[in-house]
Amino acid sequence: MTGFYFFLVSLCVVPYAFAAMMPTWRWLLGVTLTIGGVISAIWIQDWIAMSNPDYHEGAGGALGRLFFGLVTLGFLAGVVVRTITLILRSRGLPIRYGATICILGSAIVPGSLEGIDAWQKWKLRSPSRACLNATFNVKVANASFVIPAAGFFNVYLGKTSGADAYYFGMSPTLRAFCALSDHGKPTKATLIWLRFGQSQFIESLPSICTAPVANWATTYCAAYGAGRRDDSVEFPTDIHVFAPDEFRLGDFGGSRSTYADSLEPKTWPGAPAYVQCDTLTTDQHPLTFECSGTGNERWCKTSYPWKDGANLNYTFRVGYDDAAEKGKRIDAETRKFIAGFQAKP
């Protein structure tokens, strides 16, 4: 940790020292225009990229922005301190005092880091107990839900996954959603994503799995802890409830109807196969799964109109030969689980 801290300090100190050591006004002006122009151009480009609705930030995006922010901060501090010392020197301040000010000015660097660290801790602070225990009224299309502040919920209010996304497993966005839904106000969403991947199965036991467990949650709670790569788990790895006309379906790999997709099967090498079973969905079409993978490890998913204008999509892992039968059982459990969060009339 100490080594990383010194690395962060060096990101500030090097550009600070470079600017603070400029001998004259001309040198300082030239460096400010040149390096400052490059820094400004990079920040402008970053802002343009983030403003694009299709922008998806990678895992290192925030870290890279932090590192470059420290470089920017160090250079700016060096320019300001050197400007002050040059002004004072023009008014008769001895050079040695100017050098002392430049050295003391380097304290801006660790002070800024401490400030950034304090700000990050403030942003990542835990939500209030009232927020953690809250339930939210959320509406997707015309389907109404009452959902808890459980970490497996992600709620999207915009057209794309990059806009107005609230992840209940992350303190900042959960706090923001609590503020948005203050006093039980209903929230209009375009997508509710329930994530049951491996990371979700190693968190603390969700409140819905504490006694007494409701009938609609028994299968999920029984699967809890088994992990996402266990074939015996008869529960999806994720579930999407979405408004098909209000959310860009490609953002989560879904479609309006897997049955409709199966009418135009893909023929390229390695294309997914479609498996139908004798269960009918609410639009009176066969429940159809799109399955891909090799050997005994396949992933299947389905999408279909569910109820009240909302569509349902989910994914599960399956062996090679049992997609139809296992899919029927998982479909029943999925619909039962989702119904448990529906608002009662």
Instruction: For residue 33, give the H/E element and its range.
Output: helix 25-51
Q: Which two tokens stand for residue 83?
A: 């400007």
For residue 65, give the nearest of 46, 51, 38 by alpha carbon: 46
pLDDT in tens, 135-183: 999 999 999 999 998 888 999 998 888 778 999 988 899 999 998 887 6
- Cis peptide leading into residue 286 (ω within 30°): no
Q: In whole angstroms, what is the distance from residue 197 CA to residue 183 CA?
A: 31
Q: Give mean pLDDT, residues 316-330.
A: 84
Q: Give mean pLDDT, residues 249-253.
A: 82
Instruction: Answer yes or no: is pLDDT of 78 > 60.
Output: yes
Q: Are 53 and 160 in contact (CB under 8 A)?
A: yes
pLDDT band per the 50, 70, 90 thresholds, residue 338:
very high
Instruction: Answer yes or no: is pLDDT of 71 > 90.
Output: no
Please state the separation of Cα 196 from the chain's center in Å. Answer: 15
Q: Are 330 and 236 in contact (CB under 8 A)?
A: yes
In this prediction, residue 201 carries a pLDDT of 40
pLDDT band per the 50, 70, 90 thresholds, residue 295:
low
Structure-derived torsion over alpha carbons of residues 75, 81, 87, 89, reported in degrees to the nearest 10 = -110
For residue 272, give the nearest of 256, 285, 289 by alpha carbon: 289
Q: In whole angstroms, what is the distance from residue 345 CA to residue 332 CA?
A: 22
Residue extents of the structural domains in the chain: 2-123, 129-339
pLDDT band per the 50, 70, 90 thresholds, residue 314:
very high
